[in-house]
């Protein structure tokens, strides 16, 4: 069984102005100085992508936080996968729970966005996760596996797909599931991936996200089938994000 190279990804969400680009330069310097046995990605707001690619150096890749399902056209305010690719990005996040909630994105819409990204040779980071009510009702596994099945496009491959498991109740709250709960959900996602891609499903990276900090990164990243992290708040500062990257030193 292939263990994939880990990916530690930062999602800046709607945070950051030009002054924050120094954090990306600093992050690259820290990694270049200290080594890290993982891929490192920052997904800034669209307005900073161009400058972020220039600031990122050798060790940090840059990605988008969302894309439209179409390549171009009359969609005011939207950004296409082709535009994100054109700026030098290699990844795009799709289906984050904040977009599912704020913009009513369904699995079908997320799948269309991931398809657009993959057709532009971007890796799609497809986000899934249960709400607190769903977990309390004992439905976490069925909700998450159904989201994974419904959000992976028909033409996806193991190489251009990353899954991020982010329990909605753990995002920005300082609360995290137990290691056993993370292991259970990641194993269920792995089963869906091997059903879907055969043995290659073992090489798809499954990230954990939700209140990942330097203090808990090592424990969370050592759980079976956790192949990296998707980090919100702690990715905004180079020092704290590097503290998470160091789980893979
Ligand atoms: O939503 C997240 C990343 O996409 C997680 O956010 P926090 O790390 O701030 O909990």
pLDDT per residue as tens digits for the range 147-195: 999 999 999 999 999 999 999 999 999 999 999 999 999 999 999 999 9
% residues pLDDT > 90 (the chain): 97
CATH of the domain at 189: 3.20.20.70
29: pLDDT strictly greater than 60: yes
What 3-state DSSP class applies to 64?
strand
CA-to-CA distance for 40 and 36, rounded, in angstroms? 9
Residue of 23, 68, 96, 98 marked active site:
96
- Ligand 1 centroid from CA 168, angstroms: 9
Q: Is 2 domain-assigned?
A: no
List all residues 6 or more positions away from 13 whose beta carbon is below 8 Å from its beta carbon: 45, 65, 98, 232
Which ipTM score applies to this complex? 0.99
Q: Which residues are annotated as a binding site?
A: 11-13, 172, 211, 232-233
| 31-38 average pLDDT score | 89
Q: Is 234 domain-assigned?
A: yes
CA triplet 160, 162, 167: central angle to 5 degrees? 160
Condensed to tens digits (0 to 9), the pLDDT of residues 67-100 reads 999 999 999 999 999 999 999 999 999 999 999 9
Domain count of the fold of the chain: 1
How many other C-beta atoms can be found within 10 angstroms of the C-beta atom of residue 99?
18
Determine the structural domain holding residue 75 and report its residue range: 7-248
Query: Which contiguous run of DSSP H or E holds residue 106?
Result: none
- Ligand 1 centroid from CA 164, angstroms: 11
Question: Which atom number of ligand 1 is nearest to the Cα of residue 98?
Answer: 1
Q: Is 79 domain-assigned?
A: yes
Catalytic residue flag (residue 58)? no
Q: Is 48 domain-assigned?
A: yes
Q: What is the pLDDT of residue 36?
A: 86
Q: Is 58 domain-assigned?
A: yes
Q: What is the pLDDT of residue 1?
A: 57
Condensed to tens digits (0 to 9), the pLDDT of residues 223-238 reads 999 999 999 999 999 9
Q: Is 1 domain-assigned?
A: no
Catalytic residue flag (residue 96)? yes
* C-alpha distance from residue 129 to each of 58, 83, 115, 155 (Å): 32, 28, 20, 23
């Amino acid at each position: 069984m292939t263990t994939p190279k880990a990916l530690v990804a930062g999602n800046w969400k709607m945070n950051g102005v030009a002054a924050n680009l120094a954090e990306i330069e600093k992050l690259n310097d820290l990694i270049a100085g200290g080594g890290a046995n993982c891929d490192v990605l920052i997904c800034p707001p669209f307005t900073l992508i161009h400058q972020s690619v220039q600031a990122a150096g050798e060790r940090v890749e840059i990605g988008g936080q969302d894309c439209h399902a179409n390549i171009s056209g009359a969609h005011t305010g939207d950004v296409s996968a082709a535009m994100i690719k054109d700026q030098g990005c290699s990844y795009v996040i799709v289906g984050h729970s904040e977009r599912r909630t704020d913009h009513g994105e369904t699995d079908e819409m997320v799948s269309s966005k991931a398809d657009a990204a993959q057709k532009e040779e971007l890796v799609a980071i497809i986000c899934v996760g249960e709400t607190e009510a769903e977990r309390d009702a004992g439905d976490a596994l069925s909700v998450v596996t159904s989201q994974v099945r419904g959000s992976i496009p028909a033409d996806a491959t193991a190489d251009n797909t990353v899954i991020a498991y982010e329990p909605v109740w753990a995002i920005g709250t300082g609360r995290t599931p137990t290691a056993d709960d993370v292991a259970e959900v990641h194993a269920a996602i792995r089963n869906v991936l091997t059903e879907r891609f055969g043995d290659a499903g073992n090489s798809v990276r499954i990230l954990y996200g939700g209140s990942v900090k330097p203090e808990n990164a090592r424990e969370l990243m050592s759980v079976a089938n956790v192949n990296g992290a998707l980090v919100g708040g702690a990715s905004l500062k180079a020092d704290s994000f590097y503290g998470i990257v160091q789980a893979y030193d």
